[in-house]
């Protein structure tokens, strides 16, 4: 076995890891809420060192220093990239800053992981990919749900031919009343859209990955805003959102045609009069089908229609998914292992999102290049 530099020792029944090699030095652009989940995951990795953070708000930098004990903090990423030795940058900004931050990091010779969605437009995504390739560095997108055990179960079933040719996929990321009352999620100029680009993106990315990532060629869709831009007295999990600056959709419905003839239907909402929240996708092939929520496979065996459920599914909690996606990024950068969510995957998903929004604006089906 190769020497990885990682060793373990048992202290009172608890396993503690140490690392003797050169650590992978990670910096953050954006020290808001989601960066905390990244930090917790990275702090569990003995071969990683958090070396710097950048944010425009002093209180976020103070929080970052308290969480990481790192005093290299900056308000401009160009200053951080010039003054600190960095191997990889985690981009945790609002969506509108993903592209410029990632491109600057690549140009400075850093590997990049950017939170979802990859950017605001497919053109921005391509520029990010080009910058990473020019720098001979990796760029990975924060699509943690493709690491979820249920996604992996369905992915393996597709790869093994159990479902046959995938004909139809239905993606649902629906909240009955779940408009975020923090951050800038309601501001289109900073986020690019509402539930479609914020939560729909995750169900799209894991379904597209599981079905084999066919090339999207056309989109049709519509969006509606009817609650978020008005005050509300209805009791909900996140009351008091900023309705005065709310410029995104409450509900988005889309359909994507792929080059191989498959169809993907997408439903995403921050607010909708539905029975309950839904986070799921279903898949129909010519030999079998699947449902993400239960990790079930539906097929025919011995002249009988059967529903197959796994006897054991590993934990798929939020922290596990973030740990796995960050570990995949770092191993890809340091050991050249395969990346599960490379920049090209982010570009494909962005084309789907962009297609639905363009179709909604145009009132007709649009082509996806």
Measured CA to CA, the distance from residue 228 to residue 29 in angstroms comes to: 29
CB atoms within 10 A of CB 241: 22
Please tell me the predicted confidence (pLDDT) of residue 1: 30
Which CATH number is 6-143+323-343 given?
A: 3.40.50.720
Please tell me the predicted confidence (pLDDT) of residue 14: 38
Please tell me the predicted confidence (pLDDT) of residue 18: 74
Structure tokens at 348: 């494909």
Please tell me the predicted confidence (pLDDT) of residue 281: 98
| 59 burial type by CB count under 10 A (0-12 exposed, 13-18 middle, 19+ buried) | exposed
Long-range CB pairs of 210-213, under 8 A, 24+ apart, other chains included: 210/146, 210/151, 210/154, 210/155, 210/158, 210/281, 210/283, 210/290, 210/292, 211/158, 211/166, 211/169, 211/262, 211/264, 211/283, 212/158, 212/159, 212/166, 213/345, 213/348
In which residue ranges of the chain is CATH 3.40.50.720 found? Answer: 6-143+323-343
Low-confidence ranges of the chain (pLDDT < 70): 1-17
Q: Is 196 helix (H, G, I), strand (E, B) or coil?
A: helix
Contact 124, 149 (CB under 8 A): no
Could you read off the pLDDT of 355-367 as tens digits, one per residue? 999 999 999 999 9
In which residue ranges of the chain is CATH 3.30.360.10 found? Answer: 146-314+347-367
In CATH, the architecture of 146-314+347-367 is: 2-Layer Sandwich (3.30)
Could you read off the pLDDT of 92-112 as tens digits, one per residue? 999 999 999 999 999 999 999
Residue 253, preceding peptide bond in cis (omega within 30° of 0): no
Please tell me the predicted confidence (pLDDT) of residue 17: 67
Contact 84, 112 (CB under 8 A): no
Q: What is the DSSP letter of 177?
A: B
Average pLDDT over the chain, rounded to whole? Answer: 95
Q: Which residues contact 256 (CB under 8 A, 6 or more apart)?
A: 216, 218, 219, 263, 264, 266, 352, 355, 356, 368
């Amino acid at each position: 076995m190769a020497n990885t530099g990682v060793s373990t020792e048992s202290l009172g029944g608890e396993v503690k890891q140490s690392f003797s090699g050169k650590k992978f030095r990670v910096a953050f652009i954006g020290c808001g809420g989601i960066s905390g989940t990244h930090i917790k995951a990275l702090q569990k990795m003995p071969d990683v060192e958090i070396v710097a953070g950048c944010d425009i708000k002093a209180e976020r930098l103070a929080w970052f220093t308290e969480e990481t004990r790192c005093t290299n903090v900056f308000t401009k990423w160009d200053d951080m990239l010039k003054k600190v030795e960095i191997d990889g940058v985690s981009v945790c900004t609002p969506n509108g800053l993903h592209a410029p931050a990632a491109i600057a990091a690549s140009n400075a010779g850093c590997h990049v992981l950017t939170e979802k969605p990859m950017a605001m437009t497919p053109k921005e995504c391509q520029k990010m990919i080009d910058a990473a390739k020019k720098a001979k560095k990796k760029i990975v997108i924060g699509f943690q749900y493709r690491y979820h055990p249920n996604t992996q179960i369905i992915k393996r079933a597709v790869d093994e031919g159990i479902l046959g040719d995938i004909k139809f996929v239905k993606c649902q990321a629906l909240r009955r009343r779940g408009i975020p009352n923090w951050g800038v999620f309601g501001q289109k100029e900073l986020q690019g859209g509402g539930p479609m680009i914020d939560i729909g993106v995750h169900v799209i990315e894991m379904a597209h990955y599981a079905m084999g990532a066919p090339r999207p060629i056309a989109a049709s869709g519509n969006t509606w805003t009817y609650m978020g831009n008005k005050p509300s007295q209805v009791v909900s999990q996140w009351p008091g959102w900023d309705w005065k600056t709310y410029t995104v959709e409450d509900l988005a419905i889309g359909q994507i045609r792929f080059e191989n003839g498959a169809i993907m239907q997408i439903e995403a909402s921050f607010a909708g009069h539905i029975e309950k929240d839904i986070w799921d996708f279903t898949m129909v092939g010519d030999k079998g089908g699947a449902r993400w929520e239960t990790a079930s496979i539906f097929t025919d065996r011995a002249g009988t229609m059967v529903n197959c459920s796994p006897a054991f599914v590993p934990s798929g909690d939020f922290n596990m998914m973030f740990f796995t996606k960050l570990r995949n990024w770092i191993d890809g950068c340091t050991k050249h292992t395969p990346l599960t969510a490379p920049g090209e995957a982010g570009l494909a998903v962005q084309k789907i999102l962009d297609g639905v929004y363009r179709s909604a604006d145009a009132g007709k089906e649009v082509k996806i290049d």
